[in-house]
Amino acid sequence: MFDVIVIGAGPAGVVAALRAADLGANTALITRDEFGGMAANDGPIPVRTLAHAARLIREARQLGLYGITVSEPVFEYSRLLARVREVVNDVRAHSAFRRQIDSLKVTVYERAGAARFADPYTIETESELRLQAEKIIICTGGVSRRLSVPGFELTATHSDAWALTSVPPSMLVIGAGATGAQVASIFNAFGSRVQLFQAGPRILPTEDEDVSAAVAAAFRESGIVVRENFGGIESFEKTPSGVRMIFSKDGARDSAEAALAIVAVGWVANTAGLNLAAAGVETNQRSFVRVDAYLRTSAPHIFAAGDITGSLMLVPQAIQDGFVAATNAVRGATMTLGDQVSPIGSFTEPEYAQVGMTEAKAREKHDVATAIVCFDSTTRTIIDGRTAGFCKLIVDRATYKILGCHVVGERAVEITQVAAIAIAAGMRVDELAQVPLSFPTYAGILGRVAGSATRQLNLKVSWQANQAENS
């Protein structure tokens, strides 16, 4: 009998197992597939590698601007996929987590097949393991949402896209959240003719409206056909060269065809097959595992962490969840997640990122000031020929605290990390304006935009730190 069994070895499960073992619990980690979960094998790492290839293609096209002459790049998708596999293996081989798990003597059952509850304290796997523990932590992540429309089996998911042997000549991407936007942007760079469909009025619906508008405009300019408010899907049909999507809006039928249709319409909890009912674990209205502030499920000795709970569904949050769930599983309910500053970003062209509240959300509860600085007015972006984009800061007029930062453009994701630290530290905008940031850098735009908000709010600063950017 173990003290703790963790099911799933993604970021949530690995950290949960590490933490439980570190607190002295005799811990087992069971996973259906490879160690590392989606983050290592099917999510950020493969996607980021493909996005890097897309970036290299774009950068190669810029060489002439800097007096470097080379022949037009020749792109081989199969070689890129070999590189993706190499990167995934390399990251896995260098995983500090794996070494720590081994040194803390966690019993790891890798590639054990799907696990399920036999009763509230017993887990069985397809590989015929039968293990018992006093506490169990469910970290089985999520899966791509399926649609109940005829012909859905003719469509693919982002995971299938990575398994292609060649770049399809054309592609329908249905769903323009973070995953759909990345697939569309990457395959557009690789030469596919991409049509991106969004049921709602704007792509990237959880981003600030200015970000959605700027990314949609940039996508269109780069040749992606973006169709917002496209209506409802009726069916998918096979065509001689691929697949056709039939959809209708306000009674009018329409269709679109391509070699491949990728559906990315959301992420749902991976609970199928876990037999949660046998353990008394309930799900919420969105079908994610219901947890309280301590990440306890409806069965008090069973915890859940990561995507399975339907929270932010990102690696840093999964890691934090795993830590909290394991702490509470071993020590009793003592730790909650607390307020999290969660920067979110995506490696599309152009990149976009956010931290804190969108302007619309901030206006619901605060009197706000907003400041925007465009990339075409900062030194580093001009040097690098990356002048498309902006940085927007949202500030509370009452407290001068930074409520949100939204960036579109080169290195947007990195810029928001700096803003996240300012927000987490509770800095006032005039304090941020006085931090001397290196010149000329992408992050320097934060000093500019903070200076602009400070002037708007008639705040006095003892000196203007980012003079170079303003000159």
Ligand X SMILES: Cc1cc2nc3c(=O)[nH]c(=O)nc-3n(C[C@H](O)[C@H](O)[C@H](O)COP(=O)(O)OP(=O)(O)OC[C@H]3O[C@@H](n4cnc5c(N)ncnc54)[C@H](O)[C@@H]3O)c2cc1C
Q: Which residues bind ligand X (CB under 6 A)?
A: 7-13, 30-33, 37-39, 43-44, 47, 114-115, 139-141, 158, 179, 270, 273-274, 306-308, 313-316, 318
CB of 349 to ligand X, least distance (A): 15
The nearer residue to ligand X, 167 or 465, going by C-beta atoms, is 167
Distance in angstroms (rounded) separating the CA atoms of residues 35 and 88: 11
DSSP 150-165: TTGGG-B-HHHHHT-S
Q: State how far the Cα of 175 lies from the Cα of 184, in Å rounded to an integer.
A: 10
Query: Can you tell me the distance from the alpha carbon of 413 to that of 325, in angstroms, rounded to the nearest whole number?
Result: 28
Residue 231: what are its φ and ψ, rounded to 5°? 110, -150
Give, as one character, the DSSP assignment of residue 146: P
CB 126 to ligand X: min, Å: 8
Task: Show the CA angle centred on residue 225, arms to residues 220 and 231, nearest 5°.
Answer: 125
If the CB atoms of residues 43 and 175 are measured against ligand X, the closer one turns out to be: 43
In this structure, the strands spanning 352-356 and 344-346 are antiparallel
**C-beta closer to ligand X: residue 223 or 273:** 273
**Encoding tokens for residue 98?**
């794996």
Kindly state the tokens that stand for 370: 């907003």
CB of 248 to ligand X, least distance (A): 29
**Of how many residues is the chain composed?**
471
To which residue do tokens 């056709």 refer?
244
For ligand X, give the closer residue by CB, 138 or 362.
138
The answer to whether the Cα torsion of 332, 38, 263, 354 is positive or negative is positive
Is 463 exposed, middle or buried (CB count within 10 Å of its CB: 0-12, 13-18, 19+)? Answer: exposed
- Compare residues 261 and 433 and give the one whose CB is closer to ligand X: 261
Instruction: Considering the complex, state which of residue 310 and residue 389 has its C-beta at the smaller distance from ligand X.
Output: 310
CB 127 → ligand X: shortest distance, Å?
Answer: 10
Cβ contacts of 329 within 8 Å, gap of 6 or more: 4, 16, 20, 25, 135, 137, 303
Beta strands in 140-251 (DSSP E): 142-144, 170-174, 193-197, 225-227, 232-239, 242-249
| Closest to ligand X by CB, 266 or 440 | 266
Q: How far is the CB of 149 from ligand X (least distance, A)?
A: 21
CB of 168 to ligand X, least distance (A): 17
| Nearest distance, CB of residue 192 and ligand X, angstroms | 17
Nearest CB to ligand X, comparing residues 43 and 447: 43
Greatest alpha-carbon span in the chain: 69
Q: Which is nearer to ligand X, 9 or 101 (CB)?
A: 9
Q: How far is the CB of 1 from ligand X (least distance, A)?
A: 19
Smallest separation, CB 262 to ligand X (Å): 11
Can you name the residues that pair with 138 across neighbouring β-strands?
7, 304
On whether the CB atoms of residues 92 and 40 are closer than 8 A, the answer is: yes
CB of 371 to ligand X, least distance (A): 27
State which residue, 144 or 370, has the beta carbon closest to ligand X.
144
